[in-house]
Structure 1
Amino acid sequence: MFERFTKAARAVVKGAVEHAERSGSTVVTKEHVLLALLDREGTRAAAALRALCPPANRPSLVAALADARRRAGLSRADASALADLGIDVGAIVARVEETHGEGALAGDRKDSGWWKGRPSFSREAKTVLEQSLRVALARKDREIGDEHILLALTMTGGVVAEALADHGVTYASVEAAVSTATAP
């Protein structure tokens, strides 16, 4: 599959690994993939993201991801389902952070000195990369570009797709923006 990745798509994968390493994470997540996409310039995905989520709105997007990370990666739909069962996620997060410190549920390893090597990709991040192939095939494209990765992120559900949708970045809007963007 990776032989079909364009230079831009490979740069996104490499950027996701770098984001994971900088954060001290041993696993590359969908969030790292999105952060790598946000770093890109001069590509179809970068043009689509710039049109749909201008740089001025990106701090709010990153903050939404950080907020979800504080909730142990639970989406609002997950928190709502738990609330229906009488479980207040906000109260649980507050109590855990009161005892163990802010961000205790984030899963970030700050003590990763024992770990050496490259981070592996989470199941969800692998799913995004696999889905990008399916998107490219459905669009009858010969290669997998960074725009296919962005489209895959919008359709795989979870916190990243939810945060993107909250900022106007949906599958339909990205598809429209990508179709009007020119190839680099």
Structure 2
Amino acid sequence: MFERFSESARDVVKGAVAHAERSRADSVTEEHLLLALLDLEGTRSSYGFSVLGVADRRASVLAGLADARRRAGLTKADAEALADIGIDVTEIVSRVEAVHGEGALAGDARPKRWWSGRRPFTRTAKDVLERSLRIALGRGDRHIGDEHLLLALVARPGAVADVLAEHGATYAAVEQAMFGAPGRTA
């Protein structure tokens, strides 16, 4: 599959690994893929982010990701579903943090290891890479570009897609911003 990756898509993967290393994470996550996409300039995904105004609100995106980590990665839909059965996620997070410190559910308290080799990709990050191939094939493209990686990120339900949607970057909006009419490969 990686032989189909364009140079910009390879840059995203390398950038995600670099973000994971800088944060001393044990593995590369879909959040790291998003951060690497946000770092790109002069690509289709950076154009999409610019059109949607996401590029100008990077700090807000980072704050949204931090908030999702603080909730142990629960999406807004997860929190709402739990609220429907009487469980207040905000209250639980507050109580846990009161006892164990801020960010206790984010996993920040565990000691970070230095890796001498490669960091593995999480299952969800691998799913994004695999979905990008399906999206590229579905669009009739022979390569996988950064634009396909971005579409795969917003197509996969989860905290990263939630944060992007809060900033106006839904699948339909991203597709429209990068390609024009849905389904067209401009």
TM over 0.5: yes
| CA distance, structure 1, for counterparts of residue 14 and residue 33 of structure 2 | 9
Partner of 1:141: 141
Structure 2: where are the runs of 5+ without partners? Answer: 181-186
What's the CA shift for 1:95?
1.1
Partner of 2:68: 68
Partner of 1:103: 103
Q: Taking structure 2 as the reference length, what is the TM-score of the superposition?
A: 0.92
| CA distance, structure 2, for counterparts of residue 169 and residue 118 of structure 1 | 31
Are residues 1:151 and 2:151 paired? yes
Q: Give 1:35-46 correspondences, 5 Å limit.
A: 35-46=35-46
**How big is each residue's C-alpha offset from its partner over 1:115-156, in whole Å with a ceiling of 9 and x where there is no partner?**
543221111100000000000000000100000000001101
Partner of 1:56: 56
What's the CA shift for 1:179?
1.5
Letter in 2 for 1:35: L
Runs of 4+ in 1 over 3 A off after TM superposition: 113-116
What's the CA shift for 1:87?
1.3
Are residues 1:124 and 2:124 paired? yes
What's the CA shift for 1:8?
0.3
| CA distance, structure 2, for counterparts of residue 21 and residue 111 of structure 1 | 14
Identity %: 62
Q: Which has the higher contact order (CA 8 A, sep 6+)?
A: 1
Partner of 1:47: 47
Q: Give 1:5-20 correspondences, 5 Å limit.
A: 5-20=5-20
Task: Give the length in aligned residue pairs.
Answer: 181
| CA distance, structure 1, for counterparts of residue 177 and residue 142 of structure 2 | 19
Partner of 1:172: 172
| CA distance, structure 1, for counterparts of residue 28 and residue 108 of structure 2 | 11
What's the CA shift for 1:55?
3.2
Letter in 2 for 1:80: E
What's the CA shift for 1:54?
4.1
| CA distance, structure 1, for counterparts of residue 113 and residue 2 of structure 2 | 30
Residue 121 of structure 1 aligns to a residue in which SS?
Answer: coil
Structure 1: where are the runs of 5+ without partners? Answer: none
